[in-house]
A and B are shown apart, each in its own frame.
Chain A
Amino acid sequence: MERVLSYVDAIREATDQEMEHDSSVIEFGLDVDDPKRIQGTTRGLVEKYGPERVFGTPLSEDAMTGAAIGMAMAGLRPIHVHIRMDFLMLSMNQLINIAAKARYMYGGQVAIPLVVRSMIGKSWGQGAQHSQGLYSFFMHVPGLKVVAPTTPYDAKGSLIAAIRDDNPVMYVEHRILHFQKGRVPEDLYTVSPGKARITAEGRDVTIVGISNMQVECLRAQHYLSEIGISAEVIDPIWLSPLDIDTIADSVRKTGRLIVVDNGWTTCGAGSEIAAQVMECLQDERSIRIHRMGFAPTSCPPSPTLEEAFYPNGRTIAAAAHELVTGVNDWLPTEQTELREIEFKGPF
């Protein structure tokens, strides 16, 4: 029988297994060793590996990111954890100016095997500074890899791949996805950079969903199937390097692409995917493209506003229907069993 784990436990297990067989792997960050253990993703690690390899830090994101880079230069494989992706803005200088560049600007003499874990928040009033999906910032910069796994299986496999990578990897989690459960092998395995996954096969429209929006895309696919529209859903998993071939192959077949970003659309990951698909296919066939993502506002905490801020399964399905039929006259009735599990506080 296949073993089922939560996304949280998949992350915890990947970290534990890598720390067990490689003493150079260490994990730290704000609250990594506190009673709540980063939603449980670091549970049991300080007890097993001690406070020298698993430790909490001061609220010094800038210096601790720089320190993580220095540790990596010395041959360790640090995992630096940020419980909010928003907090990474305090680490940008070190990530962009050193982590991404050290290997290149030192002529290949150093490697930076660093993993930076961060979590995007959503729901229950997370508000402007607990909700941002800023991974496209990191996709912009050569020298960084970016992964945003959606399933527990990919959470484990891509974290192991990230830890073993000799380059800095931005590992992007989502608080809603932490509740996901799924098949996770007990063995060590990797979900390697640059390979997307087709999560539902279809023929009429290609829907690419990033991070938690992948879940919404699968809901949209369900709604669409009820009216006879066949959607192919793709999870890019790794955003940098990006597996554009899998996406372009799908669009070559369907002729239609919707990219649903877990962030704002302008200069976003979805914009990049749309542009690359267009470059691939423009000489082959005509295609139609639509981008979706956060509303072009800050994220509001009030529930009615927050609901309108994000794309969801219904709005994605409606957009796909319009792209396929050319008519904007359908919005599926909400099926409550398809609603996501909401994150509720306190936290």
Chain B
Amino acid sequence: MYDNIFRSLYLIRRTEEEVARAYPTDKIKSPVHLSIGQEAVAVGVCEALGPEDIIFCSYRSHASYLAKGGDLNAMVAELYGKATGSAKGKGGSMHLVDIPHGVMGASAVVGTPIANAIGYAYALKLRHSNQIVACFFGDGATDEGVFYESLNWAAVKELPIIFICENNGYAIHTAQSTRQKNTQLWQKAAAQGVPAERIDGNDVLSIYEHVSETIQSLRTKKAMGPFFFECMTYRWREHVGPNEDYQLGYRDLSELAPWVETDQVERIGGMLDPIQRKQIEVDVEAEIASAFLYADQSPFPDPSELYTDIT
């Protein structure tokens, strides 16, 4: 299990570092919202999900997309605006999608997919499916009215869905404490009738265990959904773009230190046999290099593609 978790953490971290490295070349034709530092949440949750389960993502979706098994080649090609991209160059970084792997898409409008996720979960319930939906969003999404409306209805209908709030403390550059009187997001979920808890979002094993347990009880119908996890995490880089942004002054570099000290890529990597770890790293590096080459060599969509996939 540790090898899978490490592989996923390392894949996401290194892919995004490569995205950041490639960014100044202007080969990437899409704004990117990097998850570096927040990988543990996506990995812990998706490791607990099955391949048949469904995720809905925020615009900061590289981590959840890859953790769920989303196609790496298609992702990088989409960032490059190529015809081989996950959405044929019509989505971009903020709308990654991989239906065969259960990645049902992502929205640039904050909070919007929460409502789509509950609808999907309702359809699963109506069909007596054993699948489960996990919905990722940030603390900013809990500013939106749709968050409350959606959790309420999910609770009313006892839907098979797990809400994963990645609380990184900021909506763009605005701290949660300046936007919200009560910053205990799990309490807001609980107030909607959704069983909720706050967990350490930078402990991938703890997240995995919490979510696995919940999924087990949902699958065996010991408990009905929904459930809510507030995962405390931290965004290491800027809101959008490849760089750090501590010079802007809205947050202090000292905030970052404890998160780097407990970096889960290093932690889980350290739990593996060094030879095994090296092998995973070599394999993943080859995969990433291949994906960037694939994106680079893929053609741009033909202009006639502008008018396909529309009513």
- Which residues of A line the B interface, CB within 8 A? 26, 52-53, 57-58, 60, 62-76, 78, 93-94, 97-98, 102-110, 142-145, 167, 241
Q: Are A103 and B310 in contact (CB under 8 A)?
A: yes
Q: Are A67 and B150 in contact (CB under 8 A)?
A: yes
Query: What residue in chain A is nearest B151 (Cβ atoms)?
Result: A63
Q: Are A73 and B109 in contact (CB under 8 A)?
A: no
Q: Does B284 sit at the interface, judged by CB under 8 A?
A: no
Q: Does B199 sit at the interface, judged by CB under 8 A?
A: no
Specify which chain A residues have a CB less than 8 angstroms from the CB of B38 in the assembled complex. Answer: none
Known: A73-B104, A93-B109, A108-B308. A60 touches B99 (CB 8 A): no
Query: What residue in chain B is nearest A97 (Cβ atoms)?
Result: B109
6 pairs of A and B residues whose beta carbons are closest in the complex: A66-B115, A70-B119, A63-B149, A67-B119, A74-B123, A107-B87
Q: Are B85 and A107 in contact (CB under 8 A)?
A: yes
Q: Are B153 and A63 in contact (CB under 8 A)?
A: yes
Q: Are B91 and A64 in contact (CB under 8 A)?
A: no
Name the distance in Å between A90's Cβ and chain B's nearest Cβ: 9
Alpha-carbon separation in the docked complex, A102 to B308 (Å): 13
Partner of A66 from B88, B91, B123, B150 at Cβ < 8 Å: B150
Q: Are B123 and A71 in contact (CB under 8 A)?
A: yes
**Size bracket of the B interface:** 35 or more
Q: Are B311 and A106 in contact (CB under 8 A)?
A: no
Alpha-carbon separation in the docked complex, A65 to B112 (Å): 10
Other 14 A-B pairs with CB < 8 A, given A67-B122, A73-B116? A62-B149, A63-B115, A63-B146, A63-B150, A66-B116, A70-B56, A70-B118, A70-B121, A71-B119, A93-B109, A105-B87, A106-B95, A109-B87, A109-B97
Specify which chain A residues have a CB less than 8 angstroms from the CB of B91 in the assembled complex. Answer: 105-107
Which residues 90-121 in B have Cβ within 8 Å of A in the complex? Answer: 90-91, 95, 97, 99, 104-105, 107, 109, 112-121
Specify which chain B residues have a CB less than 8 angstroms from the CB of A94 in the assembled complex. Answer: 112, 115-116
Q: Does B86 sit at the interface, judged by CB under 8 A?
A: yes
Q: Are A93 and B112 in contact (CB under 8 A)?
A: yes
Alpha-carbon separation in the docked complex, A308 to B152 (Å): 44
Partner of B149 from A60, A75, A143 at Cβ < 8 Å: A60
Query: What residue in chain B is nearest A70 (Cβ atoms)?
Result: B119
Q: Are B146 and A62 in contact (CB under 8 A)?
A: yes
Query: What residue in chain A is nearest B104 (Cβ atoms)?
Result: A73
Kindly name the residue among A72, A73, A74 whose own CB sees the greatest number of chain B CB atoms within 10 A: A74
Alpha-carbon separation in the docked complex, A67 to B150 (Å): 8
Name the distance in Å between A129's Cβ and chain B's nearest Cβ: 19
Alpha-carbon separation in the docked complex, A204 to B57 (Å): 58
Q: Does B1 sit at the interface, judged by CB under 8 A?
A: no
Q: Are A106 and B105 in contact (CB under 8 A)?
A: yes
11 A-B residue pairings within 8 Å (CB atoms): A63-B146, A67-B119, A71-B122, A73-B105, A97-B107, A98-B113, A103-B309, A104-B90, A105-B105, A106-B87, A107-B90
Q: Does B24 sit at the interface, judged by CB under 8 A?
A: no
Kindly name the residue among A69, A107, A110, A241 whose own CB sees the greatest number of chain B CB atoms within 10 A: A107
Q: Does B126 sit at the interface, judged by CB under 8 A?
A: yes
Q: Does B145 sit at the interface, judged by CB under 8 A?
A: yes
Specify which chain A residues have a CB less than 8 angstroms from the CB of B150 in the assembled complex. Answer: 60, 63, 66-67
Known: A97-B107, A105-B91. A74 touches B119 (CB 8 A): yes
Specify which chain A residues have a CB less than 8 angstroms from the CB of B99 in the assembled complex. Answer: 106, 109-110
Specify which chain B residues have a CB less than 8 angstroms from the CB of A57 in the assembled complex. Answer: 153
Name the distance in Å between A319's Cβ and chain B's nearest Cβ: 34
Alpha-carbon separation in the docked complex, A241 to B311 (Å): 9
Specify which chain B residues have a CB less than 8 angstroms from the CB of A144 in the assembled complex. Answer: 311
Alpha-carbon separation in the docked complex, A181 to B88 (Å): 48
Query: What residue in chain B is nearest A76 (Cβ atoms)?
Result: B123
Partner of A64 from B86, B97, B153, B309 at Cβ < 8 Å: B153
Q: Are B149 and A58 in contact (CB under 8 A)?
A: yes
Q: Does B289 sit at the interface, judged by CB under 8 A?
A: no
Q: Mark B211-239, 1 if CB is under 8 A from A, else 0.
A: 00000000000000000000000000000
Q: Are A167 and B311 in contact (CB under 8 A)?
A: yes
Specify which chain B residues have a CB less than 8 angstroms from the CB of A75 in the assembled complex. Answer: 123
Q: Does B22 sit at the interface, judged by CB under 8 A?
A: no
Q: Are B88 and A70 in contact (CB under 8 A)?
A: no
Q: Are B310 and A62 in contact (CB under 8 A)?
A: no
Name the distance in Å between A97's Cβ and chain B's nearest Cβ: 5
Alpha-carbon separation in the docked complex, A144 to B117 (Å): 21
